[in-house]
Amino acid sequence: MKRLLILIILICFSNAYCQKFEKLALTPPMGWNSWNKFGCDINEDLIRQTADAMVSSGMKDAGYAYINIDDCWHGERDSLGFIHPDPQRFPSGMKVLADYVHSKGLKLGIYSDAGWKTCGGKPGSRGYEFQDARTYAEWGIDYLKYDWCNTEKLNAEGAYLTMRNALYAAGRPIVLSICEWGSNKPWEWEKNIGHLWRTTGDIYNCFDCIKDHGTWQSWGVMKILDMQKGLREYAGPDYWNDPDMLEVGNGMSVNEDRAHFSMWCMLAAPLIAGNDLRNMSKETLEILTNKEAVAVNQDSLGIQGFKYSEKDSIEIWFKPLVKGDWAMCTLNRGKQPYKFSFDWKNEKVIDDFAKRETKFAEIIYSIRDLWLKKEIGTTKEVLNKDIPGHDVLIMRLIKM
């Protein structure tokens, strides 16, 4: 038995099947996904137009790179088991679509499921993992979101490992986005399997509600935020906690969208827009392309932020950044405006995980408001600011 185990380990180390493609996501992936806004109502025109809009709107310049097709692109498997896209919705085929997206300087993502069927009832990859991975590689796919519906008694770690190995064997670097909703504590075992993993069930387009679907529930932005507790030490460059895709521009108020986006930046979460990029309001675009907020998210240290304090409706979060800077975000979860006052000299922010300290008594920081996009003082003076309901004050503390 022991010999067999050693043999398996040796084979694994010596062949090309047992690895993850590394360095594909050294900062949290940024892109767009069809699901939140369009569900199953997708086709190749939408994907092309979205790629066009990503470039013309300035989102590409702000860092967004992936155009991800979610569930329901599928047609049938043929008699040899090869999967084909729905011939009505994707008549040109995926290779042509990938070429188009690549010609815009963007990357194409696709979706499958570890079970027999996807959540939308389309063919899953179970039993076809290596064949599907080859197909995706041939099409020129760059990102795979791999879901967890209809998996019955499958072991999650094993199932995701199989797809990781299949992608590696197919030879095209493809980001693996694990989507098993946090059910099997993926953060404990996915670091060497995927590049990001969902930590929760699905997001729902509201600030703080729970949407009941009968057999399952989806979660408002604040509910998802609360579920990230205790997870920050599992994430880092090339392996990210994924609190689900953005709902910015899908119907919440501008303040709520701003709070949602800012908190996803603080969490070093993947920034996968979920709105209609072809028809965005000025406010939605401004939120998604705020380069200074995005810089907090994309900071090369890759350290997830943490909650420093909470009192009444107010939470204060910190995130260590390069060059000794910090991001600080004061989140007003309440509906009423809040008079926020912060006397730096009385605060001691220590991050044991990142081994960093703000040392406000010794170090002076200049304070930059990332939504006003201007300096608003230094940490020498007490900070006083009104924060509207369901909104944030997100700042960069720049070491002077």
Please give the residue ranges that form the binding site for ligand GLA (CB under 6 A): 35, 70-71, 118-120, 147, 179, 202
Q: Which is nearer to ligand GLA, 119 or 392 (CB)?
A: 119
Whether residue 147 lies in the annotated active site: yes
CA separation (Å) from 369 to 75, 92, 262, 334?
Answer: 49, 47, 12, 21
Q: How far is the CB of 107 from ligand GLA (least distance, A)?
A: 18
Q: How far is the CB of 36 from ligand GLA (least distance, A)?
A: 8
| Alpha-carbon span 232 to 187, nearest angstrom | 10
Q: How far is the CB of 156 from ligand GLA (least distance, A)?
A: 14
| Alpha-carbon span 315 to 331, nearest angstrom | 5
- Active-site option among 70, 147, 276, 391: 147
| Alpha-carbon span 50 to 296, nearest angstrom | 25
Q: How far is the CB of 41 from ligand GLA (least distance, A)?
A: 12
Q: Which is nearer to ligand GLA, 35 or 219 (CB)?
A: 35
Q: Which of 125, 159, 156 is nearest to 141 (CA)?
A: 125
| Alpha-carbon span 314 to 180, nearest angstrom | 31
One-letter amino acid for residue 294 of the chain: V
Q: Which is nearer to ligand GLA, 202 or 247 (CB)?
A: 202
Q: Which is nearer to ligand GLA, 144 or 329 (CB)?
A: 144
Q: Which of 48, 65, 54, 64 is nearest to 261 (CA)?
A: 64
Q: Which is nearer to ligand GLA, 35 or 204 (CB)?
A: 35
Determine whether 14 is exposed, middle or buried from the number of CB atoms within 10 Å of its CB (0-12, 13-18, 19+): exposed
Whether residue 202 lies in the annotated active site: yes
Determine whether 1 is exposed, middle or buried from the number of CB atoms within 10 Å of its CB (0-12, 13-18, 19+): exposed
CA separation (Å) from 28 to 98, 177, 207, 235, 236?
Answer: 22, 11, 23, 10, 9
| Alpha-carbon span 166 to 194, nearest angstrom | 12
Rg for the chain (alpha carbons), in Å? 22
365 by DSSP, 3-state: which? strand
Q: How far is the CB of 119 from ligand GLA (least distance, A)?
A: 3
- Active-site option among 70, 71, 202, 299: 202
| Alpha-carbon span 191 to 155, nearest angstrom | 17
Q: How far is the CB of 219 from ligand GLA (least distance, A)?
A: 11
C-alpha torsion angle, residues 181, 187, 193, 194 (rounded to 10)? 60
Q: Which is nearer to ligand GLA, 109 or 249 (CB)?
A: 109
One-letter amino acid for residue 350 of the chain: I
Q: Which is nearer to ligand GLA, 34 or 358 (CB)?
A: 34
Q: How far is the CB of 301 from ligand GLA (least distance, A)?
A: 28
Q: Which of 354, 344, 291 is nearest to 322 (CA)?
A: 354
- Which residue is nearest to ligand GLA, using beta carbons? 119
Q: Which is nearer to ligand GLA, 180 or 391 (CB)?
A: 180
| Alpha-carbon span 286 to 292, nearest angstrom | 11
Q: How far is the CB of 34 from ligand GLA (least distance, A)?
A: 9
Catalytic residues: 147, 202
